[in-house]
Amino acid sequence: MTSQEPGRPASLDDVKGWFPETDQRLFTWFLERQDQLGESGDLVELGSYLGKSAILMGRHLRDGETFTVCDLFDSDASDDPNRAEMARSYATLTRAAFEENYRAFHDRLPEIVQGPTSSILDHVQPESCRFVHVDASHLYEHVHGDIRAAQVMLRPGGVIVCDDYRSEHTPGVSAAVWEAVITGGLRPVCITPMKLYGTWGDTGPVQDDLLNWLEKQEDVWHEVQQVAGRRLVRVKKKRAKKPDKHKEKVRRLEGRLAAAEESLAETRHLLASVRGSASFRVGRAVTALPRAMRGVRRR
Ligand SMILES: C[S@@+](CC[C@H](N)C(=O)[O-])C[C@H]1O[C@@H](n2cnc3c(N)ncnc32)[C@H](O)[C@@H]1O
């Protein structure tokens, strides 16, 4: 992860957090698509840390919509495993640091629920949201509840994004996410190495639009798989091509050869112009007799 330098962040890269570039592109794509289709609704983030993903989500908030973030920040967790998780990973987190970062990019703060995500339905109305990002605790019991709450908050066709659905250190998240897919009616639209994007609505149109867009992205790789009888789009950043060492050497040698040929041509040109000059010809004429006589003596 990136480390945040002290001071006001100037770009999202300056904000410490976990939000890879491919996911930034996909968040933007999903939120802009909702805008283009005139799909309105509130935005919710469960687990905001220092605001990296919240700052991007906040850019897509439109008039009349509410953006709510829910995080414990510097409050105590309600159970020991969650308390241990907080102490291990977010010990220095403060709400003030989140607010400072967010204000560096937006005039207004989002609605902030400082407390456990299990309380989110006390603050957000059912079927009021178009986009919910689930990125708080990694414990199965919490994530299970967060996904259930997201289903309640989302409007038909709304989008849920689940973080860490496959990380080696977060099996509890994987269990809760795939459980929602297999038994809870959650339909995955696409996955990246870090996040699963899904909906309880129809996946056909959004996947078609996504595939159209992906075809035009030169730096993003994708493929389509079938999972439990449903289409699933895999998306990830294309690896930068490793330079071919052999080609690189040939290119360098070709450069040196071209330079040598150029310098040879210049020398030839210089020699020709010296030979053609009047002083050279006079000099040759003056030295012709002594040279001829030396030749006679040698014979
Ligand atoms: C992985 S971080 C979020 C990363 C963030 N979305 C980003 O873009 O960098 C997880 C956050 O969840 C919060 N959290 C953990 N357990 C929580 C709980 N039970 N309720 C609310 N927030 C919780 C932590 O304080 C932490 O800020």
Residue nearest atom 9 in ligand 1 by C-alpha distance? 17
Residue 226 structure tokens: 């079938």
pLDDT tens digits for 35-47? 999 999 999 999 9
Residue nearest atom 18 in ligand 1 by C-alpha distance? 116
DSSP state, residue 218: T
ipTM surpasses 0.90: yes
Q: What is the pLDDT of residue 4?
A: 63
Of the candidates 101, 133, 106, 83, the residue with the CA atom closest to the CA atom of residue 6: 101
Domain boundary among the residues 216, 237, 258 is at 237
> Given a cut of 60, is residue 5 above it in pLDDT?
yes
Q: Which residue has the tokens 């199965």?
A: 140
Q: What is the pLDDT of residue 2?
A: 45
Examine the domain organization and report whether 81 and 158 are in the same domain.
yes
Q: Is residue 218 a contact partner of residue 192, using CB atoms and an 8 Å limit? A: no
Report whether residue 70 contacts ligand 1, using a CB cutoff of 6 Å: yes
> Given a cut of 90, is residue 248 above it in pLDDT?
no
pLDDT tens digits for 264-285? 888 888 888 877 776 666 666 7
Residue 274 structure tokens: 């010296």
Q: What is the largest CA-CA distance in the chain?
A: 119
SS3 content of the chain, % helix, strand, coil (to 5): 50, 20, 35
231 C-alpha vs ligand 1 centroid, how far in Å? 30
Burial class (CB in 10 A: 0-12, 13-18, 19+), 61: middle
Residue 258 structure tokens: 């071209």
Residue nearest atom 27 in ligand 1 by C-alpha distance? 49
CATH number at residue 232: 3.40.50.150
Q: Is residue 183 part of a domain?
A: yes
pLDDT tens digits for 88-108? 999 999 999 999 999 999 999
> Given a cut of 50, is residue 1 above it in pLDDT?
no
Percent of the chain topping pLDDT 70: 90
Q: Is residue 57 part of a domain?
A: yes
116 C-alpha vs ligand 1 centroid, how far in Å? 10
Residue 107 structure tokens: 């005039």
- Domain with 249, as residue range(s), is 245-298
Q: How many domains does the chain have?
A: 2
Report whether residue 117 contacts ligand 1, using a CB cutoff of 6 Å: yes
